[in-house]
Amino acid sequence: MTEIIVLGPGCPKCIRLEEMCNEAVTKLQAEATVQKVMDPDEFTKHGVWLTPALIINGTLKVQGKLPVPTTLEQWIRTATPAKG
């Protein structure tokens, strides 16, 4: 299962990134979990200095901005094991 972590304090962009991740997971029918982390101590543990930030399967994909939806979908598609 793919693990998606959205890091952010709750600002509009952070909320939007979480929504985008949930939308992409639904669209792709990916076996993935989306977790929201709002604890600043956790941000630094992941090497995040700008929010929102996105981690997929332990890899920091973006921080400080929102990804393009097609790029986000590609990251999730690539990280999610094929079914069957």
User: pLDDT per residue over 32-47, tens digit each?
Assistant: 999 999 999 999 999 9
Question: With 90 as the cut, is the pLDDT of residue 72 above it?
Answer: yes
Question: With 60 as the cut, is the pLDDT of residue 49 above it?
Answer: yes
**pLDDT score of 81:** 80
Using alpha carbons, select from 68, 66, 72 the residue that is nearest to residue 2: 72
CA distance 18 to 2: 15
* Per-residue pLDDT band at 83 (split at 50, 70, 90): low
Q: What percent of the chain has pLDDT over 70?
A: 96
CB-CB contact of 56 with 3 (8 Å): yes
Q: Which CATH number fits domain 2-79: 3.10.290.10, 3.40.50.800, 3.30.70.100, 3.40.30.10?
A: 3.40.30.10
